[in-house]
């Protein structure tokens, strides 16, 4: 009896027979679709590192890696998920003011998630050196003449960031050119400049202060010993 009452509330007995069954089926389909849409909003998760926390020593200490990955990056992921949930609610309510208000949190935390995911991916205990011969190295030599000139440009740009931010080697697909640029805070390179991010150097103090104190140049110079040029090259190929 209880089931019949519930059934009648969901599907008022307007008609009997096949038409009523169609009415039930239609309402159920809409409910399933709504549940599916909710399920499609998959939560972002912290990516696993392809190496141990101590693998990048002596260039980046295990203490920094553990704090940077499991605390700082995890916080960006958590806050991004919260912001996206609030955004979904605001969009459902057509609350334009709230939608606009949430953009800053999504930009900051989404950028933090994107930037750090690229950072971990393009570092390796077997890194350093120069890119292998191929399209990326050819373009570096074409635009910077020498690899050392690229290294100098990205190092100076990263060290020179005022406050917190990132130094980037980006690819301009339209111009088929490489560019060294900086982004403030956690602004993501692609969304901010249109450049495809190949490699970034995190110059937030949390990335180096425990080990290098306030000597940012020493940290940036150390990064060159652990850049995974194989990964950077794969990113370049994906951008073409």
Q: Which residues are annotated as a binding site for Mn(2+)?
A: 68, 116, 202, 206
Q: Report d(CA 187, CA 165) in Å as an integer.
A: 8
- Three-point CA angle 92, 94, 99, nearest 5°: 95
Locate 165 and state its tokens. 């931010």
Residue pair 117/139 in contact by the 8 Å Cβ criterion: no
Locate 22 and state its tokens. 């169609």
Q: Report d(CA 26, CA 97) in Å as an integer.
A: 34
Largest pairwise CA distance in the chain: 83
Q: How many CB atoms lie within 10 A of CB 185?
A: 15
Residue pair 118/171 in contact by the 8 Å Cβ criterion: no
Which residues make up each annotated binding site? 68, 116, 202, 206
């Amino acid at each position: 009896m209880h089931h019949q009452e519930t059934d009648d509330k969901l599907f008022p007995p307007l008609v009997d027979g096949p038409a009523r069954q169609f009415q039930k089926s239609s309402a159920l389909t809409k409910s399933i679709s709504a549940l599916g849409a909710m399920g499609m909003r998959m939560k972002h998760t912290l990516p696993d590192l392809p190496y141990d926390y101590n693998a990048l020593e002596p260039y980046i200490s295990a203490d920094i890696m553990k704090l940077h990955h499991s605390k700082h990056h995890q916080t960006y992921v958590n806050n991004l998920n919260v912001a996206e949930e609030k955004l979904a609610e605001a969009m459902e309510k057509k609350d334009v003011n709230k939608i606009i208000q949430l953009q800053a949190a999504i930009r900051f935390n989404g950028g933090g998630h994107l930037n750090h995911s690229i950072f971990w991916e393009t570092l390796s205990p077997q890194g350093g050196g120069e890119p292998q011969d191929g399209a990326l190295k050819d373009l570096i030599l074409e635009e910077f003449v020498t690899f050392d000139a690229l290294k100098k440009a990205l190092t100076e740009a990263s060290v020179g960031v005022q406050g917190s931010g990132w130094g980037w080697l980006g690819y301009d697909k339209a111009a088929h050119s490489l560019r060294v640029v900086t982004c403030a805070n956690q602004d993501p390179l692609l969304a901010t400049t249109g450049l495809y991010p190949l490699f970034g150097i995190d110059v937030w103090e949390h990335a180096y202060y425990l080990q290098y104190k306030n000597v940012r140049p020493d940290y940036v110079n150390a990064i060159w010993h652990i850049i995974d040029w194989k990964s950077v090259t794969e990113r370049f190929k994906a951008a073409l």
